[in-house]
Structure 1
């Protein structure tokens, strides 16, 4: 699924047919100018001379390749599943939610890597599919920014305004953020949930590992995005990538770098689109306009089947 502003392509692989259709249409047009058969049996230079002398009666170009090419392109786009979000869609509760925990401790906000952390969170949200996503931020305390929602726009807006003054407290307690995520997902009875910790790994210790072990026992997978601060402020816990790696090993997830776009996009892809829940949810969350385009494509082909008059 690909999002293009308000428009969503639910089956974008059908667009791969467009270049082939364009090439086939161009080749057909070159042979459908009404003189294609003569061009095959008459030398090109001789044909040009005959045309210059007025001995060639220009035939009417065959419009069928244009009709067929346009209809096929419309059919391809319709099969790609252009859709818009259904404003009247029901709200889901017990589905495979994703909870993102964003580190806003001083080592991130004052260390010059807040922008990288925001970009990483935004990328993960862009690739979440139709899974509901929740967002929480933490320093020495944790705060829930948004409950799980299917529409990414409110989350993207919230991420964009985060800064060094967002948190009312300093410090860094990722274990408290993990505990909040565990309790929230337990209460929601979420199906196959994911937690993504976006942090520099500072202050990740035995407490966080114990909570990650509890989460894994509950079926909650924990992954992490490592954000390396450029210049950690004085007194802040140093970045610790190894601690994050050990944490996700316990939590059953993966560790990726904040600057690795491909890895960020693939972080949750193994669960995105899996199972019947995803298919049913797409049907309810989106209005698929592809059926209308497919119908128009077949309507555009109707003139190609009209009976020709006998000469």
Structure 2
């Protein structure tokens, strides 16, 4: 389940003492404390009379520890996104930053890969608004964030080598423009609840210290920068893939190969969900399953109130 997360994961540490005490109690009381001072020949008779615990009694003895473990899991806040809740999705868009530099658009295969990657990321957005930027030696906002996927797919379908008026590859300019467009208005580093995700779909051309610095600034503002690496053209420098990975790391994300679009989409969803869990608005978009686990913990305690022969 891609949206599953723990709202309060620190509570999982409580499982360590619970498990330790359960193992200690089980070893100490396999047949009751009386076995240490009872003649072994009498033990079968005492078991038959019910004066010593049998294996069923040992299982019952573990129920409080099982209940305590389930309670710790409940307090950790396992949660899933609430179906039909779109309020938080609208707050933090996914922005595709498409590289239209000559090393990409001059080869039909790379241009097709770029279009396919953008279409795949839009499909995986699951109702989250998606914006689109284009860049070469300059950057342009091709589409403001929208949930109208048909419009975005139409824009992607007409991209070609004539789309950008100038040549070059400056991801640093594109990232700086994205920071101006999608940062919070107060300028104090306050980020949106889930954080904006920006995906550089590129062969890595133009990667360098400036782009890395811009990615770090975006991360400081609460955004995350990801990379989707197209296969470099023959004329592209070999170090470009490493440069794209450095940009993504500085931006709080990761870089993925074109063949792993699904892995990138899953990583984006998990990172956004984890950030939402740390915000005050987490309960507005997530369903906490902890109360249901508490019902299971109570069910584990019920047999303790039965009379065992």
Same fold (TM > 0.5): yes
The answer to whether residue 221 in structure 2 is matched with residue 224 in structure 1 is no
Match of 1:205 in 2: 208
Name the counterpart of 2:240: 240
Question: 1:164: which partner in 2?
Answer: 161
Output one character per residue of 1:130-158: Cα deviation in whole Å (capped at 9) or x when no partner: 22111000000101110011221111111
Aligned counterparts, 1:104-123, within 5 A:
104-111=100-107, 112-123=109-120
Structure ranking higher in helix proportion: 2
User: Which runs of 5 or more residues in structure 1 are unaligned?
Assistant: 2-81, 84-88, 281-311
Q: Report the alpha carbon displacement of residue 218 of structure 1 after superposing the two structures with TM.
A: 0.6
Aligned length: 195
SS at match of 1:247: helix
Q: Secondary structure at the match of 1:268?
A: helix
C-alpha separation in 2, matches of 1:167 and 1:119:
19
Alignment of 1:181 with 2:181, yes or no, is: no
Further displaced range: 222-231 or 259-268: 259-268
Q: CA RMSD in A?
A: 3.2
Question: Is the 8 Å Cα contact of residues 224 and 255 (structure 1) preserved in structure 2?
Answer: yes
Provide the residue aligned with 1:103 in structure 2.
Answer: 99
Contact persistence 1:200–1:240 (CA under 8 A): yes
Q: Where does the alignment leave 5 or more consecutive residues of structure 2 unmatched?
A: 2-82, 186-190, 277-281, 288-309
Secondary structure in 1 matching 2:254: strand
Q: Is the 8 A contact 1:130 1:278 kept in 2?
A: no
Residues 259-308 of structure 1 show CA distances to partners (whole Å, capped at 9, x for unaligned) of: 2243244242215676456579xxxxxxxxxxxxxxxxxxxxxxxxxxxx
- Equivalent residues in 2 for 1:292-303 (5 A)? none
**Structure 1 residues 147, 116: CA separation in 2 closer, same or farther (over 3 Å shift)?**
same
The 5 Å alignment of 1:122-141 reads 122-141=119-138
Residues 143, 276 of structure 1: CA spacing in aligned structure 2 closer, same or farther, 3 A cutoff? Answer: farther
CA contact (8 A) 1:175 1:211 kept: yes
Kept in 2, the 8 Å contact 1:202–1:238? The answer is: no
Q: Deviations over 1:231-255 (max 9, x none)?
A: 33xxx65661100111111111011
Alpha-carbon separation, structure 2, partners of 1:151 and 1:277: 24
Structure-2 separation of matches of 1:204 and 1:144: 20
Compared CA separation, residues 184 and 213, structure 1 to 2 (3 A): same
Q: Cα 1:105–1:278, aligned 2, differ >3 Å: closer, same or farther?
A: farther
What TM-score do you get using the length of structure 2 for normalisation?
A: 0.56
Q: Distance in 1 between matches of 2:252 and 2:90?
A: 21
Spell out the pairing of 1:7-86 with structure 2 (5 A cutoff).
none
Q: TM-score scaled by structure 1?
A: 0.56
Aligned to 1:143: 140
Q: Secondary structure at the match of 2:117?
A: helix
TM-superposed CA distance for 1:109, in Å, is: 0.3
Q: Are 2:204 and 2:232, in contact at CA under 8 Å, matched by a contact in 1?
A: no
